[in-house]
Amino acid sequence: MRFDVITLFPDLFTIPLTQGVTRRAFDEGRVQVRTWPLRDFGEGPHRRVDDRPYGGGPGMVMLYEPLERALTAIRAERGDEQPVPLVHFTPTGERIDQRIVDDFAAGPGAVLLCGRYEGIDQRFIDRYVDRELSLGDFVLSGGELPALALLDAIARLQEGVLGDPESHRQDSFSDGLLEGPHFSRPETLPGTADAVPDVLLSGHHAAIARWRRERALDLTARRRPDLIDAARAAGRLDAQDERFLKSRLL
């Protein structure tokens, strides 16, 4: 899969794509990323890409024509019979979740548009943008951080990227729930009574799996009850899960 990124700050992508476990996805070409500096498509000797908004008001607006030239160049180089979607990162977009990540991770890629300033000329959005995504209910300086977050989440799902292929299946949201707590050595912290739960030392795999499931259910019910409702509606909770959740309320 290939992602083309339209950005005013291509250098922001250098370090995140070459560090950590997800770099395997990029180094081995499982996820290809090419950045397209928008100023290369700007107007005049100063490569202008923004101007004041009509109607007045603060800030600057990214111009239609440089964006169109950049997108035309990307589509010409890709040569896809069916153009991949153009994704715009904006606070008004759909919030990114694991379902969206899974979707992209199984697809051919996308063009990622990283806006800046006050916004993008609405005519470009209306004509070309296929999907609008948001990282959450807050405002960032630009779309680069959401783009990087999406790329990282996609990369770690690719085969051979994580050391243990089962790792991502135990992550938060993989089954609709938050992931429960983890423990490692020492078994008891020096000078305290804080110890690893006995069940994790038992070697009883079924009991351990059930304990982890219940901790995930408990944590999700306390912090994100909306996810419990969604998991129930999707049929992801069995009778044992429901009994445990009911016992918490007694």
Which residues participate in catalysis according to the annotation?
Answer: 91, 118, 156, 171
Q: How many other C-beta atoms are found inside a 10 Å radius of the C-beta of residue 231?
A: 17
In this structure, are residues 83 and 75 in contact, taking their beta carbons and an 8 Å threshold?
Answer: yes
Find all residues with CB under 8 Å of 166, minimum gap 6, and list them: none
Query: Measured between alpha carbons, how far is 110 from 54 in angstroms, rounded to an integer?
Result: 31
121 - beta bridge partners? none
Secondary structure string (H, E, C) spanning 161-214: CCCCCCHHHHCCCCCCCCCCCCCCCCCECCCCCCECCHHHHCCCHHHHHHHHHH
